[in-house]
Chains A and B, each alone.
Chain A
Amino acid sequence: MSERSIADIYFSVLGLITTAFGIADILVTAGGGSFAFGILEVPGDLFRGGWGGFIVLSAGLFYLSGIRNIEDIHPFSKIVMGSILIWIIAGCDIFAMITESIPGGENGPWFNTFDGFIGTYAPPYAPAVLLLPFSLVVVYYIYKKKQDNMSENWE
């Protein structure tokens, strides 16, 4: 199987899963509650679930619209943008965890205890955080494209 078809399949599957997560985010928010299953937690608040869910859904649609001709720079940029949107949402979630893990709480000491600090990073995680490692694969393709362009220019 060629590398191109591997990329096509990979980003198609990632696009479908991302789209499904985005729809789940929006539906759970519309339902007015949150949903947890194993290490996954779909937030139900309007900001993370609704607004964030729309962005995850957009990321999925970016992936799906970019897979038709991944060799071309324009469709490929859509795949990169899909990943960037996931990085934005997951980055915000991780940043929120970091800011929550440092202070010691309302009635506690100034700084959190070590256990409390580590405990903040424990699962469950929002869909974007779970998608984050899979979205990073695009970095490999960016690097590869750069190498290909350099060798093209060399020739």
Chain B
Amino acid sequence: MKLTVDQRWDLIDKIAKQTVTFGEYKHTLKDAIGELTVKPLTGIPIAIAVMYAFWSVFGSFAGTLFTDGFMVKLFDGRFLPWIQDIFPGAGGWLYYIIVGNPLADNSFEAFGMLTSGLFVAIGIVLPAIFIFYLMLALLEDIGYMPRLAVLIDTVLHRIGLHGYAIVPTILSLGCNVPGVAATRILETRKQRFIMMTLLAIFIPCGAQIGIMEKVIPDTMGWVLLYLIGGYFLFGYILNKIIPGRSPEFLIDVPPYRKPMISNLRKKVWVRIAGFFKVALPFVLLGCGIVNVLYLTGFIDWIGNVLSPVFVSWFGVPEATVGPLIAAFLRKDLAVAQLSVIEMTPYQMITSVVLVSIYFPCVATFAMMIKEGAKELLGALAVLFAVVFLYGGLIHLIGILLGVA
């Protein structure tokens, strides 16, 4: 059937009458609150409050309730003595790799694949990423994330990105692997390169944050402050020196909505399953490889070679070199190893910042290879320059403050 132009317009009128409501639109309370959350003067305090809630719930749920409340008891009180007892060949190399130190009285200091490895993966990281991704899914489904993107757009333009870069940044706080994958939402190669480099260097993952919260709660704020400072400082520099475009972004801000439980469940499950498939094998394997490297004396050797740089340029004790080298495999375990070394609070801050910035963990590294070898090499070149400059700068700040 073919309609004439007039018939088409008549049909359009009929449909419009049935589907479109005409009248004066009055702002609802939801609209007005939506406006408050995107205007800088009112939106910034709200964003600060949302971030506060995010970290407060994260700490209470993952730290107080699960890790400290139950997991430490389960692993240190039951699992560790049991596996130390039943695993044969105490003191042998296989025992050292799988179970770790036979005299350790807690899973943190055992450093075996099935002790520290499992404790970190199940006891610390699992509750941390569960609550992290649940909160993130909640913010996405309520409709707050697009508003946060609009709010932070101006700031992120200064470092060559745009508001949506907040998505990979926040995702990376859970695990860098989905964060690197999420850089694909940025339009140009320049933006993707800057984002990937900044994520790999300055954004600590949920596992590392969980460990920091447990072992260095007093200095963690300073570590995060240095990392945030570095994110913006080196983002600004990269934006100036990397050629390419940083286009504006156009975003449709949806109204606030009530989240659906089924959606939340699916999102959290997909993300946690992704973490377990990609990152968990690296936790256990990383733990084993670090132990092999210690056993073969490789870490001691490289520690001796690099110790002049670490001690004189970065201002950290020689004993930190081993954990810093091992951090390539597991940053969270490296922080745990650092926590048992005797040093000043400022040296602790410096060494934990160095663990965060000096190399992406091996799981992130594997993900970066997928994104392109050229990008990876570029990111690594930037990374070495940043570590050297920023590590030295932090040491210099410490000297000037008289605390280094």
Contacts and interface: CB of A to CB of B under 8 A. Distances in A.
A32 B362 CA distance: 41
Nearest to A51: B52
Contacts of A58: 45, 48-49
A91 B53 contact: yes
Interface string A88-112: 1101100110111011001000100
B267 interface: no
A99 B60 contact: yes
Contacts of A106: 68, 72
Given A62-B42, A99-B65, A88 B73 contact: no
Contacts of A13: none
B2 to A, nearest CB: 43
B68 to A, nearest CB: 7
Interface residues of B, number: 31
B27 A74 contact: yes
A77 B380 CA distance: 48
B215 interface: no
Contacts of A55: 45, 48-49, 52
B277 to A, nearest CB: 29
A76 interface: yes
Interface stretch (B29-37, B147-155, B197-205, B394-402): B29-37
B29 A46 contact: no
Contact of B49 (A85, A95, A149): A85
Contact of A73 (B27, B45, B55, B57): B27
Contacts of A84: 33
A99 B57 CA distance: 10
B29 A76 contact: yes
Given A81-B36, A95-B60, A96-B56, A88 B221 contact: no
A10 B55 CA distance: 32
A81 B28 CA distance: 14
Interface in B194-233: 221
Contacts of B56: 47, 92, 95-96
Q: Bin chain A's interface residue count.
A: 20 to 34
B226 to A, nearest CB: 15
B42 A81 contact: yes
Contact of A99 (B33, B35, B69): B69
B316 to A, nearest CB: 25
Interface string A41-83: 0000011000110110010001000000000011011101100
A99 B45 contact: no
A30 to B, nearest CB: 15
Contact of A81 (B33, B61, B64, B72): B33
Interface in A96-155: 96, 98-100, 102-103, 106, 110, 142, 145, 149
B46 interface: yes
B24 to A, nearest CB: 11
A81 B256 CA distance: 14
Contacts of B93: none
A52 B52 contact: yes
Contact of A54 (B33, B48, B50, B57): B48
Nearest to A109: B73
Nearest to A95: B60
Nearest to B37: A81
A103 B68 contact: yes
A149 B27 CA distance: 11
A94 B323 CA distance: 38
A102 B73 CA distance: 14
Contacts of B52: 51-52, 55, 88-89, 92
Nearest to A65: B42
A46 B221 contact: yes
Contact of B33 (A46, A80, A98): A80
Given A55-B49, A92-B56, 10 more contacts: A62-B42, A73-B29, A73-B32, A74-B27, A81-B42, A88-B52, A96-B56, A99-B64, A103-B68, A110-B70
Interface of B: 26-29, 31-33, 35-36, 42, 45-46, 48-50, 52-53, 55-57, 59-61, 64-65, 68-70, 72-73, 221
In the complex, the 7 A-B pairs of residues with the closest C-beta atoms, listed nearest first:
A103-B69, A77-B32, A58-B45, A92-B56, A99-B65, A99-B60, A96-B60
21 contacts: A46-B221, A47-B55, A51-B48, A54-B48, A55-B45, A58-B48, A62-B42, A73-B27, A73-B29, A73-B31, A74-B27, A74-B32, A77-B35, A88-B49, A96-B56, A96-B59, A102-B65, A106-B72, A110-B73, A142-B29, A149-B26
